[in-house]
Amino acid sequence: MLRRSPHLFGAAAILAALGPAPAPDAYTSQRQRMVREQIESRGIHRADILHVLRTTPRHLFVPEGIRERAYDDCALPIGSGSTISQPYIVALMTDLLTPQKHQRILEIGTGSGYQAAVLAQLTEHVYTIEIMPDLAESSREKLAGLGYSNVTVRQGNGYRGWPEEAPFDGIIVTAAPAEVPRTLIDQLARGGRLVAPVGAGWAQNLTVIEKRVDGALVTYSVAPVLFVPMKSK
């Protein structure tokens, strides 16, 4: 069952919270079409998420040689055996996480930095871990250069999480573990939510784990997905 955030956001409130949209660029129409045809048409309607996806320059988070495909309805390679997720999957996982402005989020698998850039505009701070040194460094430089000052990038093993900054209001995992590491569940705050693709090979499901205020866990699957495996070294 796909659960949606109970919060509603008016257009005026979004503009006030997120600030003015950046100046149009050569890809503005492609972003508009991406949101309209790939995301809204598939049931993502939370207005602040749509606003962020319409304005975040996804093309700057893909290799220059495939930049013209940045807004296609598919995942794309970014090097080191990693990919940038399909726009709809980014939107869906963001929606399932139900991010709020006061929240601190942990992301496992920085990749290109695009998902972190999206979440940075919807939350207080994003802590993101990337196991591949080259991707960690390039994403750190890119996010800083684009002005995402509320994102902290660490190169390391995502299975360990980020214990010194825990607990987190939300955790998002962008590579597939065979099962959700207990360390990440332990670092999730009560009342928080974890979103991850779980499983091996073709047998993966996008999974949500909610930690209730009493500490009890509620787990449900949303849809079959295919992500690169989550690495531990």
Question: What pTM does this model have?
Answer: 0.90
The CATH number assigned to the domain with range 11-225 reads 3.40.50.150
pLDDT, residue 23, reads 62
In the chain, % of residues over pLDDT 70? 90
At 116-162, the pLDDT tens digits run 999 999 999 999 999 999 999 999 999 999 999 999 999 999 999 99
User: How far is the C-alpha of 138 from the C-alpha of 183, rounded, in Å?
Assistant: 27
For strands 188-200 and 125-130, give the pairing: unpaired
User: How far is the C-alpha of 178 from the C-alpha of 69, rounded, in Å?
Assistant: 30
The mean pLDDT of 185-200, rounded to a whole number, is 97
At 32-75, the pLDDT tens digits run 999 999 999 999 999 999 999 999 999 999 999 999 999 999 99
Contact present, 71 and 31 (Cβ < 8 Å): yes
pLDDT, residue 214, reads 97
At 82-126, the pLDDT tens digits run 999 999 999 999 999 999 999 999 999 999 999 999 999 999 999
Q: Which residues are catalytic?
A: 85
